[in-house]
Amino acid sequence: MKKPVIIGIAGGTGSGKSTITKELIKLIDEKDVTIIEQDSYYKDQSNLPFEERVKTNYDHPFAFDNELLVSQLKDLIAGKAIEKPVYDFSIHNRTEETKRVEPKDVIILEGILILAEKEIRDLLDIKVFVDTDADVRIIRRILRDMKDRGRSLDSVILQYMSTVRPAHIQFVEPSKRYADIIILEGGYNTVAIDLIHTKIKQILKNEQN
């Protein structure tokens, strides 16, 4: 099996990473793409009571099990299927179930801090940073957390001001310097998306030769 193309898509919360991923999948045959979300790799917290788990700072590098993520990415690169963790934000912990993920020609890794970790960066063929204004990102996060995670407006804003914004300034924003491509106003820059698609095809072609 030829080595897959690994694309890392980073950026702040609500920047449009998922939109970029969806737009790329439209250009690539879906059967050839595997998507790995960094959010699936939050650390197992079964050893902590719920009262402690709710205090988790999900925007800090320490929240992620990068050792497992790197290990499973290497397995996919080697042509091996993985059992990806499933994280449940309602209980602030992993569930007992996992999701089987098969290796494909293209692997898209999406997450806020994937460019901040050297071990992850070293596995990426294309490094993308989605750079979107803070006011747009906070509005998107409010809508997402209230709709999908049952959060109140007050709790979303409190979390944003106390942990999300400081972590973005300290960890996410500085990781932009490692990007090969910076996409402004995520999801709507069709030229940048076309460039990424062209690069993917070029790498795949080189792997076949």
List residues forming the annotated binding site for ATP.
11-18
CB of 69 within 8 A of CB of 120? yes
Tokens of 187: 């999801």
CB of 16 within 8 A of CB of 184? no
Which residues are annotated binding-site positions? 11-18
CB of 137 within 8 A of CB of 13? yes
**How many CA atoms within 13 Å lie on the side-chain side of 21?**
21
In the chain, where does DSSP find H-type helix? 17-27, 50-53, 66-77, 118-121, 134-148, 153-159, 165-167, 190-208
**What is the helix (H) or strand (E) element at residue 60, kind and residue range?**
none
Enumerate long-range contacts of 147-151, CB under 8 Å, 24 or more apart.
Answer: 149/89, 149/90, 150/90
